[in-house]
Amino acid sequence: MPIIVNLDVMMAKRKMSLNELSEKVDLTLANLSILKTGKAKAIRFSTLEAICQALDCQPGDLLEYSKG
């Protein structure tokens, strides 16, 4: 998939666990895990906004395009 999700990288930089992020953004662990592993087919802007707010980052810090 040409879109790479760097959620795990940002979580590590912020020293935040999946459980903690799940509580802050009000998403299930299962949904966050799907996003974290890059298996998600889509993400809502409201979810992206909540994650960016919780991790104090920009959407470009989480999502990357690769031609591969």
Q: Average pLDDT in the 29-39 region?
A: 94
The overall average pLDDT reported for the chain is 94
pLDDT at 18: 95
This prediction has a pTM of: 0.92
Architecture of the domain delimited by 3-65? Orthogonal Bundle (1.10)
* Consecutive H or E run containing 65: strand 63-65
% of the chain with per-residue pLDDT over 90: 93
- The CA distances from residue 34 to 31, 37, 66, in Å, are 5, 5, 19
pLDDT of residue 1: 60
Q: Is the pLDDT reported for residue 21 higher than 80?
A: yes
Q: How far apart are CA 61 and CA 52, in angstroms?
A: 9
Where are the chain's structural domains? 3-65
Kindly state the average pLDDT of the residues 21-28. 96
> Can you give the length of the chain in residues?
68
